[in-house]
């Protein structure tokens, strides 16, 4: 295999990994299969028995068409994520075209650059485990491809340089271009890859993270969010996640510690959204009531969330949550949580106004992975009062900020026979009864066949000046749970009934054998809570339950049986990499600095203790430390001297060519030919160095032209060296003195050169 | 051997840096740790590129092996010995070139080494295509590499000053032209040798000495003499050719002699080329050749033997070197001065009769033939005859 072919193979591997990363980021299996097939086909087209690349003009036209198409589609796109996706797809398409049309190393360079672009786009689209693994693989593949490319370019340039110039009469011998077997780059590439991965990991850990949003939120429903987000955006027009990935598992234990199954469907509350922004059609949590109660949780003990404390021994179930994919600070609990516990010390915040729990993290780890909550499924007024910590529910605006919704609400109430309740201003129990009546009417109104549940909003087209809730209620009448919940909350609010949207998960799948509820990404849900008492919120879910169950069932595949293997790894990835944010980075840095200082302190302490022990053993007294310090200094000096002597010996060995001699001859030569070592050293200091290809005598003769003041003396010294080193002359003491004098003359001349 | 290391960011490195900045900004502003990873990997590429290439070139030792003389238009292979003193890291994708080569003097093709393992040596070849006759000075060789990622170019310059001699161009001559030329010479270069040797000519008979091969015995004569006698052969006596280059007239004077607009210096070079080609052709055909240069002082390096009639590649190299060493800008020995020297020096206008007895003498003039040079019987060529003698 020649170098170009090797380069082609490696860049093909890089392209395949990049396209796989993009396909996985897009969550498109057909795209993955298609791109890999095209990669294989391109190799066959180029390197097969009738290999022939795509003509350049065809490739140019196809690439141009792809770019134009991407620009046209991109102009009609609003979201950044979609724009990046389109760019990524366009780069991928051009990359595939390039794979079919590459001819030279220049084309390989384009392939590598396009692959890098595809990888960057993939990283901006998703933070999933498989995408991450693909990106890591692409990093290694890129090292392999670029090293092979460098060699291929070098060989091509070497061959080009040997082309005969116009004035030449005969060609030059061709360069000796190596075959792959003689240039094994595997070791180099592997070491370079390991170094790249190691340095990249360090940079990754110290990169400043100043984001306001939590990581992984570029695309809703992405791996970092697992279908859950603490807000609702009605204008994004996305198809919500139908992934079967396990987000968490919940086990319910009764008072006796036995696993139980709910009679109904458990709803796990994650966040309460009580504020609607019509400008961007977004539900979010308001900051009207910022009161938060912080609890420090000790492992194994339940922290009571009530004020006064709630009795957790009666009518209380224990909810044990084990996270599988989702990394968030929201803690999912059924209504109503009364006590919380975790396996590690943590800090938890209770928002009395909403009854939601939030994790503030721990000192030594990132987001939580397991926790336990004691829940009162049917709380009485005293329990709710206790949980509210004296806080009254924050009352939202009397009217929903979209006037058309109120018209629709009044029309619905009139049709439902509740026309009198529309504008009624009631107090006390009548008010709560009216709220229940109105909520039930709206809940019933939103049921099929009048409204149709679907997760595909591709035909839910936004219109200028129309709110999505209004469009859902009056025009389209199809949508998913977010639209159902938004519509019902909007209808309630528009007629003066306080309502809020709750987002979280609905547990539909019960594993009889393990005795746990398995909550999947597709179980992310939104529903409504309506104020039906002074502090009492009642739950309403206008989304048709049958459709929710059908949605859950339709995505069931054989792959679900393997999720026990994949999901823990995925969760570890999400928890360790995706959710690695600024706070965790700061904690890690603190811990590292602490450990380092402790280690350093330990070493210093150890040395001190050792010195003390030695001091005590020899009864040296306080002055012993001075002696020990002096001893250390002498030891250091000894090491330095040994290194210097070793270096000098090595220099002597090279200068006198002592390699082939035995030990006694070496000793003799060091003594007898010392004058040559000193002379060479003096000349080196004077900036006159012997070229390695010249013998001492040839060097001396070569210096006649440039350094005549040194040449003569050097020649005498060199001849003397030859006699001793190669002619077997054994000088006596007088001769050695004469040799030393000879060398001194040369050294003096060299000093003059140095000074001058 | 003085070595100097240099780092230079290559163009792909500049583009890569711009991309790193772009990805860094994107990673800093957009929540996504994978993007941070990509940025980290790119930064790692830059650092590793510097570390790897630095470690690689720290151990590079490049030694130019003594190049032989070159020839105009012919590739001159320059060999380098690359030693990797590094204990761990191999040298990969190393390019070696000579610095400060005058483009008018030679075109250069770099040497390329794909890989040299740790603590190993390798030999690589670069090529020079000399453009003109004379001396080319090689100052230093620079070994550079953009490995592993092509972001930075690192180079080690090793000073190894050296001069190489470039022989004049030799062109193939028409055999018929040369044959006609030497046929008109006195004796056509043939001669008889006196000594006993292994030639073809009969020299005489002598008594048989034990050890003589039996096939040398002259059986008929031995029968008549009743003692065995053997045949002696003479030494081989190849034909001799003396080429005299006439550079007596300075270039300015040549310019006046040739047609207006023609390049006098080029005409002189053509004369040198013709000389070299004649010598080459004759030597190839088995002639003993000699060269004399009229108008130039003796070249110390060439030595007195250069004018002797000899055969062989070594002798031819010496003659080429004489031609290569001609400095046309130097002062010429005028015809009058040369005449005074008579036949004692190589700058003689007329060769001494004893040494050239039986040799064909050809005098090559850059412009106009000067019959005073070469003596009687010499043939005179001008540089203008080079194209017609040249083999197409």
CB contact B125 to A (< 8 Å) = yes
Percentage with pLDDT > 90 across chain A:
27
CB pairs under 8 A between A and B: 196
* Residue range A301-310, pLDDT digits in tens: 888 888 888 8
User: How many CA atoms lie less than 13 Å away from B336 in the CB half-sphere?
Assistant: 0
How crowded is residue B272: how many other Cβ atoms within 10 Å of its Cβ? 25
Judge whether B67 lies within some domain: yes
Helix (H, G, I), strand (E, B) or coil at B16: helix
Count of C-beta atoms within a 10 Å radius of residue B323: 24
| Beta-carbon contacts of residue B91 (< 8 Å; ≥ 6 apart) | B56, B57, B59, B60, B82, B84, B113, B115, B116, B145
Q: For every residue of B51-97, which 3-state class applies, written as one string?
A: HHHHHHHHCEEEEECCCCCEECCCCEEEEEEEEECCCCCCEEEEEEE
Look at residues A365, A344, A348, A327 and name the one whose alpha carbon lies nearest to residue A588: A365
Helix boundaries (H) for A389-462: 403-415, 428-445
Q: Rank A299-308, A488-497, B301-310, B332-341 by mean pLDDT and report only the highest.
A: A488-497
pLDDT number for residue A32: 94
Other Cβ atoms less than 10 A from the Cβ of A705: the count is 8
Greater pLDDT, A676 or A77: A676
From chain B, pick out residues whose CB is under 8 angstroms from the CB of A692.
Answer: 1, 61, 63
Average pLDDT over residues A426-446: 86
Phi, psi of A625 (to 5 degrees): -65, -35
Question: Checking phi first, is residue A360 left (phi over 0); if not, alpha (psi -120 to 50) or beta?
Answer: alpha
B64 inside domain: yes
Quick check: is B376 in a domain? yes
Stretch A408-423: mean pLDDT? 81
Quote the Cα angle for A192-A193-A194, to 5°: 90
Question: CA-CA distance, A439 to A448, in Å (whole number)?
Answer: 17
Per-residue pLDDT, averaged over B230-256, amounts to 87
pLDDT of amino acid A602:
93
Scanning every residue of chain B, which has its alpha carbon at the shortest distance from the alpha carbon of A81?
B30
Residues B326 and B180 in one domain: yes
pLDDT at B159 over 60: yes
In chain A, residues with a C-beta closer than 8 Å to the C-beta of B129 are 164-165, 167-168, 172
Domain chopping of chain A, boundaries: 3-160+180-206, 657-755
In a domain, B195, yes or no: no
Based on the fold, state whether residues B146 and B211 are members of the same structural domain: no
Is it the case that residue A181 has pLDDT exceeding 60? Answer: no
pLDDT at residue A365 in the model = 45
More confident residue, A328 or B322: B322
Mean pLDDT of B172-177: 90
Answer yes or no: do B216 and B139 share one domain: no
DSSP code of residue A343: S
Q: Does A183 touch chain B (CB under 8 A)?
A: yes
The pLDDT tens digits of the residues spanning A15-28 come to 999 999 999 988 88
CB of A168 within 8 Å of a chain B CB? The answer is yes
Domain that holds residue B66: 1-167
DSSP percent split of chain A into helix, strand, coil, nearest 5: 55, 15, 35
Of the pLDDT bands very low, low, confident and very high (cuts 50, 70, 90), residue B299 is low
Say if residue B339 is in the same domain as residue B373.
yes
Residue A289 above 70 pLDDT? no
Please check whether residues B210 and B287 belong to one and the same domain. Answer: no
Q: How far apart are the first and last CA of chain A?
A: 59
Q: How confident is the model at residue A312 (pLDDT cuts 50, 70, 90)?
A: confident
* A498-521 mean pLDDT: 87
For residue A225, pLDDT beyond 60: no
Closest CA to B228 of B252, B241, B210: B210
- Residues B159 and B246 reside in one and the same domain: no
Q: Are residues B262 and B150 in the same domain?
A: no
B residues 22-61 near A, CB within 8 Å?
A: 23, 26-41, 43-45, 47-48, 51-52, 61
Q: A285-289, A429-433, A721-725: which has the minimum mean pLDDT?
A: A285-289
Residue A242 has pLDDT above 80, yes or no: no
Q: Does residue B103 form part of some domain?
A: yes
Q: Give the mean model confidence (pLDDT) for residues B162-184.
A: 87
- CA–CA gap between residue B309 and residue B81 (Å, rounded): 38
Residue B196 lies inside a defined structural domain of this protein: no
Chain A window 578-597: which residues touch B at a Cβ cutoff of 8 Å? 578, 580
> Which H, E and C letters describe A572-620, residue by residue?
HHHHHHHCCCHHHHHHHHHHHHHHHHHHHHHHHHHHHHHHHHHHHHCCC
Please tell me whether residues B101 and B248 are part of one structural domain. Answer: no
Q: Searching chain A, which residue's CA lies closest to the CA of residue B77?
A: A172
Query: Which residues in chain A are contacts of B48 at CB distance < 8 A?
Result: 192, 195-196, 199
Cβ distance A401 to A339 under 8 Å? no
Most confident of A167-181, A694-708, B345-359: A694-708
| Predicted confidence (pLDDT) per residue in A28-72, tens digit | 889 999 999 999 999 999 988 888 899 999 999 999 999 999 999
Encoded tokens for A597: 């200082």
Question: Residue B343: what pLDDT?
Answer: 37
Residue with tokens 């080009």: A160
Residue A385 pLDDT exceeds 70: yes
Structure confidence by residue, pLDDT tens digits, A361-378: 654 445 556 888 888 888
pLDDT score of A222 more than 90: no
Pairwise CA distance, residues A207 & B38, whole Å: 12
Residue B157, φ and ψ in degrees, nearest 5: -100, 125
- Is there a contact between A209 and B129 if contact means CB atoms under 8 Å apart? no
Average pLDDT over residues A729-741: 91
- CB contacts, 8 Å: B36 with chain A: 204, 207, 209
User: Same domain, yes or no, for B323 and B210?
Assistant: no
What CATH number did the domain enclosing B128 receive?
2.60.40.10
pLDDT beyond 50 at B197: yes
Q: Look at residue A306 in the predicted model and tell me its pLDDT.
A: 87
Residue B371 lies in a domain: yes
Please report which confidence band the pLDDT of residue B188 belongs to, taking 50, 70 and 90 as the band edges: low
pLDDT tens across B123-132, in order?
999 998 898 8
Residue B259 and residue B353 share a domain: yes
Write down the mean pLDDT value for chain B.
Answer: 83
A689 and B2 within 8 Å at the Cβ level: the answer is: yes
> How many Å separate Cα A507 from the centre of its chain?
30
- Residue A420 is classified by DSSP as G
Q: Residue B345: pLDDT band by 50, 70, 90 thresholds?
A: very low
pLDDT at A394 over 90: no
pLDDT at A198: 92
Tell me: do B224 and B91 sit in the same domain.
Answer: no
Q: Is the pLDDT of residue A258 over 90?
A: no
Q: pLDDT confidence of A589, banded at 50, 70, 90? A: confident
Residue B42 C-alpha, separation from nearest chain A C-alpha, in angstroms: 8
Q: For residue B21, give how far its alpha carbon lies from the nearest alpha carbon of chain A (Å).
A: 13
> Strand pairing of B202-207 and B229-233?
antiparallel
Contact A261, A507 (CB under 8 A): no
pLDDT at residue B274 above 60? yes
**pLDDT tens digits for A128-174?**
888 999 999 998 899 989 988 988 888 888 888 888 888 787 888 87
Residue B379: Cβ-neighbour burial (10 angstroms; 0-12, 13-18, 19+): middle
Predicted confidence (pLDDT) at residue B57 exceeds the cutoff of 50:
yes
Return the pLDDT at B193. Answer: 64
Query: What is the structure's pLDDT at B373?
Result: 85
Closest A-chain CA to B125: A175
Number of structural domains in chain B: 3
Q: Is B104 exposed, middle or buried (0-12, 13-18, 19+ CB in 10 A)?
A: exposed
Number of neighbours of residue B3 by Cβ within 10 angstroms: 15
The answer on B226 and B86 residing in a single domain is: no
Question: How high is the mean pLDDT of chain A?
Answer: 84
């Amino acid at each position: 295999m020649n170098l170009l072919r090797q380069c082609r193979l490696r860049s093909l591997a890089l392209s395949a990994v990049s396209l796989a990363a993009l396909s996985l980021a897009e969550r498109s299996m057909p795209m993955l299969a298609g791109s890999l097939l095209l990669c294989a086909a391109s190799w066959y087209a180029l390197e097969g028995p009738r290999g022939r690349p795509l003509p350049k003009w065809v490739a140019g036209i196809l690439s141009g068409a792809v770019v134009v198409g991407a620009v046209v589609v991109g102009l009609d796109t609003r979201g950044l994520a979609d724009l990046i996706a389109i760019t990524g797809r366009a780069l991928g398409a051009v990359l595939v075209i390039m794979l079919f049309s590459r001819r030279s190393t220049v084309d390989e360079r384009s392939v590598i650059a396009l692959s890098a672009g595809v990888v960057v786009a993939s990283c901006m689209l998703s933070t999933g485990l498989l995408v991450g693994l693909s990106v890591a693989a692409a990093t290694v593949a890129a090292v392999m491809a670029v090293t092979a490319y460098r060699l291929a370019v070098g060989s091509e340039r070497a061959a080009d340089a040997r082309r005969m110039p116009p004035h030449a009469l005969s060609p030059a011998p061709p360069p000796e271009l190596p075959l792959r077997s003689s240039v094994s780059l595997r070791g180099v590439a592997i070491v370079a890859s390991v170094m790249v991965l190691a340095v990249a990991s360090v940079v990754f850990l110290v990169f400043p993270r100043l984001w306001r949003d939590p990581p992984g939120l570029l695309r809703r429903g992405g791996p970092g969010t697992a279908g859950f987000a603490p807000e609702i955006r009605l204008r994004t027009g996305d198809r919500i996640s139908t992934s079967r990935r396990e987000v968490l598992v919940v086990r319910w234990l009764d008072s006796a510690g036995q696993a139980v199954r709910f009679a109904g469907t458990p709803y796990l509350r994650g966040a309460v959204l009580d504020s609607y922004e019509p400008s961007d059609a977004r539900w979010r949590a308001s900051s009207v009531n910022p009161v938060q109660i912080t609890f420090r949780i000790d492992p194994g003990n339940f922290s009571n969330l009530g004020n006064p404390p709630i009795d957790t021994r009666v009518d209380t179930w224990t909810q044990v949550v084990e996270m599988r994919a989702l990394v968030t600070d929201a803690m999912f609990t059924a209504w109503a949580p009364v006590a919380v516990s975790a396996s590690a010390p943590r800090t938890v915040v209770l928002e009395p106004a909403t009854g939601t729990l939030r994790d503030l993290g721990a000192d030594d780890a990132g987001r939580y992975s397991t926790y336990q909550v004691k829940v009162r499924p049917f709380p009485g007024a005293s329990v709710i009062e206790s949980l509210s910590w004296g806080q009254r529910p924050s009352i939202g605006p009397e009217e929903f900020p979209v006037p058309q919704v109120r018209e629709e609400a009044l029309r619905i109430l009139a049709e439902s026979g509740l026309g009198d309740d529309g504008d009624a201003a009631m107090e006390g129990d009548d008010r709560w009864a009216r709220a229940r009546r109105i909520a039930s009417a709206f809940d019933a109104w939103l049921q099929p066949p009048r409204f149709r549940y679907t997760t595909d909003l591709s035909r839910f087209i936004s219109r200028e000046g129309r709110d999505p809730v209004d469009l859902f209620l009056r025009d389209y009448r199809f949508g998913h749970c977010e639209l159902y919940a938004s519509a019902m909350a909007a209808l309630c609010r528009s007629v003066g009934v306080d309502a809020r949207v709750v987002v979280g998960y609905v547990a539909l799948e019960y594993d009889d054998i393990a005795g746990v509820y398995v909550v999947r990404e597709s179980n992310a849900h939104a529903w409504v809570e309506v104020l039906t008492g002074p502090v009492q919120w009642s739950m309403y879910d206008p989304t048709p339950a049958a459709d929710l169950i059908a949605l859950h069932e339709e995505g069931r595949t054989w792959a679900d049986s393997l999720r026990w293997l994949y999901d823990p790894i995925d969760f570890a990835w999400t928890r360790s990499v995706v959710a690695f944010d600024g706070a965790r980075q700061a904690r890690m840095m603190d811990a590292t600095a602490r450990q380092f200082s402790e280690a350093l302190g330990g070493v210093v302490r150890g040395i001190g203790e050792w010195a003390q022990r030695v001091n005590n053993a020899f009864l040296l007294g306080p002055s012993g430390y001075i002696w020990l310090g002096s001893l250390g200094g002498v030891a250091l000096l000894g090491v330095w001297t040994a290194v210097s002597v070793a270096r000098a010996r090595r220099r002597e060995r090279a200068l006198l060519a002592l390699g082939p001699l035995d030990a006694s001859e070496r000793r003799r030569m060091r003594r007898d030919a010392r004058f040559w070592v000193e002379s060479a050293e003096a000349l080196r200091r004077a900036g006159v160095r012997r070229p390695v290809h010249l013998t001492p005598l040839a060097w001396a003769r070569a210096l006649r032209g440039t350094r005549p003041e040194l040449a003569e003396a050097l020649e005498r010294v060199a001849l003397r060296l030859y006699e001793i080193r190669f002619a077997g002359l054994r000088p006596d003491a007088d001769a050695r003195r004469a040799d030393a004098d000879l060398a001194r003359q040369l050294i003096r001349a060299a000093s003059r050169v140095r000074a001058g | 051997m003085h070595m100097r290391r240099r780092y230079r960011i290559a163009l792909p490195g500049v583009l890569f840096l711009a991309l790193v900045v772009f990805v860094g900004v994107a990673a800093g502003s957009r929540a996504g740790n994978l993007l941070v990873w990509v940025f980290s990997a790119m930064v790692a590429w830059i650092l590793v590129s510097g570390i790897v290439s630095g470690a690689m070139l720290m151990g590079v030792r490049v030694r130019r092996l003594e190049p032989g003389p070159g020839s105009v238009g012919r590739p001159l292979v320059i060999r380098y010995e690359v030693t990797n003193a590094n204990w761990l890291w191999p040298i990969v994708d190393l390019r070696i070139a000579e610095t400060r080569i005058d483009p008018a003097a030679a075109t250069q093709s770099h040497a390329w080494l794909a890989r040299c393992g740790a603590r190993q040596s390798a030999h690589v070849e670069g090529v020079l295509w000399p453009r003109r006759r004379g001396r080319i000075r090689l100052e230093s060789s620079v070994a550079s590499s953009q490995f592993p990622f092509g972001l930075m170019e690192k180079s080690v310059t090793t000073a190894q000053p050296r001069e190489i001699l470039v022989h004049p161009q030799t062109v193939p001559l028409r055999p018929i032209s040369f044959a006609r030329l030497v046929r008109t010479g006195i004796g056509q270069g043939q001669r008889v040798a006196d000594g006993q040797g292994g030639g073809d000519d009969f020299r005489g008979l002598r008594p048989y000495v034990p050890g003589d091969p039996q096939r040398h015995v002259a059986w008929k004569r031995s029968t008549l003499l009743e003692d065995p006698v053997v045949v002696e052969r003479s030494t081989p006596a190849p034909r001799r050719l003396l080429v005299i280059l006439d550079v007596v007239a300075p270039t300015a004077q040549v310019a006046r002699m040739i047609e207006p607009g023609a390049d006098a210096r080029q005409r002189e070079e053509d004369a040198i080329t013709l000389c070299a080609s004649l010598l080459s052709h004759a030597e190839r055909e088995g002639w003993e050749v000699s060269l004399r240069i009229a108008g130039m002082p003796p070249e110390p390096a060439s030595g007195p033997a250069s004018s002797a009639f000899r055969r062989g590649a070594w002798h031819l190299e010496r003659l080429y070197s004489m031609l290569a060493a001609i400095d046309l800008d130097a002062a010429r020995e005028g015809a009058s001065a040369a005449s005074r020297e008579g036949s004692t020096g190589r700058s003689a206008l007329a060769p001494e009769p004893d040494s050239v007895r039986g040799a064909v003498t050809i005098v090559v003039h850059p412009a106009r033939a000067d019959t005073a040079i070469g003596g009687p019987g010499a043939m005179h060529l001008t540089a203008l005859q080079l194209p017609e003698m040249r083999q197409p």
